[in-house]
A and B are shown apart, each in its own frame.
Chain A
């Protein structure tokens, strides 16, 4: 097997198919339409996109995390107003625990939230408790809202959740970036397209680098997850993906608004949907600096160990 750290033709096909499915339903699921969420859920259910992700070292009947992150990235790109990552994590956990997954979850009728959400109990059918972000390892729990039944699984659900959240940030940020490139090409000021101004060209280049950084970090964590690498290594890579996306996502999103001028500040133009989605994903489950600090603590602890060993 040759070294292959890029998306294959199959991976791209999947991403395109999912993107197309979402954009076909685009008109139906404008994010601020009153029934947006249930329409989005219908699209997702129809496409059979809620499937278990194969947990490291467990049976492999579902999708890989590489595939799941492509699906979630496509959902972010189309601003699908549905908590897809959360559903994927829950379905993966149930499947790995050998529990039957009901149709309600698979077709998107039952909603999943992650604790601690303030509104979690009233609006969702399931609550996911992935555990404290700063633990080295922890088992997941989930609770069915109505029945109040609590199930504990012998699995660390955090890496899966963080990588998927990062993929959602990436897709959402990519969509805002693409809009802003398009706008820069069309809008003229001082007799020239905005895209001719170097300040904007260079900021766009920097934003593109940030998007590629996110992509690399997500793919790397996902490929470690899919090849059942050592759990500590997977956790650290997932932290890097979440930290990178939490940092870079809002930068790209905020720049997209800046590049649009006042029109970007209007409700109707809609950039705020992406911004809000990215901002909340970036703050939940640990902010960028929360994760950077945890990465740093682990890094320093590892160095301290070699220190003692070598007596240096």
Chain B
């Protein structure tokens, strides 16, 4: 075992730190790091940051050079994620493009699709959203009803999607549609790449518990698209998406651990400045949270080094999804314990109030905690089931 970076990787990290210190706004910290509360302003800020990262040479870091990537390894990508998290850099608006659509296109797209879409994801010229969930298909995603039927020159799509994050700011959407109702549900779905500014697609934003409008409803009515925008084989959309997702779940949002550590440091500063609840058991709460953050990072190290060694990451990635989402909620719960009244009132606690609410979503999206536990029970522990079907 060895967890040291190579001299080249260390040089990469040092260069990145210098770049960050001169490119991130000086007072980007504390209250501001969640971005402006105004949704449009926030979009502009997040998008500008993504462009800046690309201009600095940090876009598409571990993607092939043939499509505009830098061709570096997973370890450099991990270093980038950690450094961005460490300073709580803006999370960007195109994580669906970078972490979901890009990898699926690279895995299953045609050469033309790769050339067309990958460079524009790297440069943040295209912003993507993910149209998977529907009103009646949440955890049971394979039950989607939005239907794409064949026409002479392409497809016509009808249906409804919901919880589609950032659709109002996106120009493309990856859509999971049913294309065959006569076969078992996992075998009749296909993926499509659809432009959002198109007849037959209506987007309505929904307000979240944080007050922000990030997710949306999508209404698809007789929306026509050419066959060249189909991603992967007909009726294999589920398999195509899952092949990539299994790998991606382990590496998605690797910056989170470092970002949470940044939040915990901010909380500690606030408590040490005297704002805290005097009766809180500070040492115990901070000790437990910082220990758990340490373990979260160790799991990241494990996943990254396994990928670097050419191993496949399977359902074990569910462990990380469970761990980070629950730990983040626990940090925010303990922020309440540590701050007491100040959690509700102190101006400098605004970030914790909002993050407390935002963290509610984290055990819900990208597979709820219950679904992650089921994945572990099924595919890691292989616990025998009864006759009954279901998750």
Contacts and interface: CB of A to CB of B under 8 A. Distances in A.
Contacts of A219: 1, 298
Contacts of A4: 1-3, 305, 308-309
A196 B291 CA distance: 34
Contact of B3 (A217, A223, A294, A297): A223
A216 B319 CA distance: 12
Contacts of A258: none
Interface of B: 1-6, 75, 265, 268-269, 272, 281-288, 290-291, 294-295, 298-299, 301-302, 304-306, 308-309, 316, 319, 322-323, 370, 372-374, 376-377, 380-381, 383-388
Contacts of A185: 383-384
A240 interface: yes
Contacts of B287: 243, 291-297, 299
Contact of A240 (B291, B316, B319, B373): B291
A274 B61 CA distance: 48
Nearest to B266: A303
Query: Which 9 residue pairs across A and B have the least CB separation, nearest first?
Result: A296-B287, A196-B386, A296-B283, A295-B287, A201-B377, A292-B287, A205-B376, A205-B373, A216-B298
Interface string A157-193: 0000000000000000000000001001100000011
Contact of B386 (A2, A193, A299, A304): A193
A306 B304 CA distance: 30
Contact of B2 (A220, A227, A303): A227
Given A185-B384, A220-B298, A8 B284 contact: no
Interface of A: 1-8, 11, 66, 181, 184-185, 192-193, 195-196, 198, 201-202, 204-206, 208-209, 212-213, 216-217, 219-220, 222-224, 226-227, 237, 239-240, 243-244, 289, 291-297, 299-300, 303-304, 307, 312
B88 to A, nearest CB: 15
Contacts of A296: 282-288, 290
Contacts of A299: 268, 286-287, 290
A44 B295 CA distance: 32
Chain B CB within 10 Å, residue with most, of A185, A201, A291: A201
B268 A217 contact: no
* A contact patch SS: helix
Given A291-B287, A303-B269, A8 B1 contact: yes
Contact of A3 (B3, B265, B319): B3
Contacts, number: 171
Contact of A205 (B291, B381, B385): B381
A208 B285 CA distance: 24
Contacts of B285: 296
A162 B319 CA distance: 25
A3 B385 contact: no
A5 B299 CA distance: 9
A20 B185 CA distance: 46
A224 B3 CA distance: 8
A117 to B, nearest CB: 26
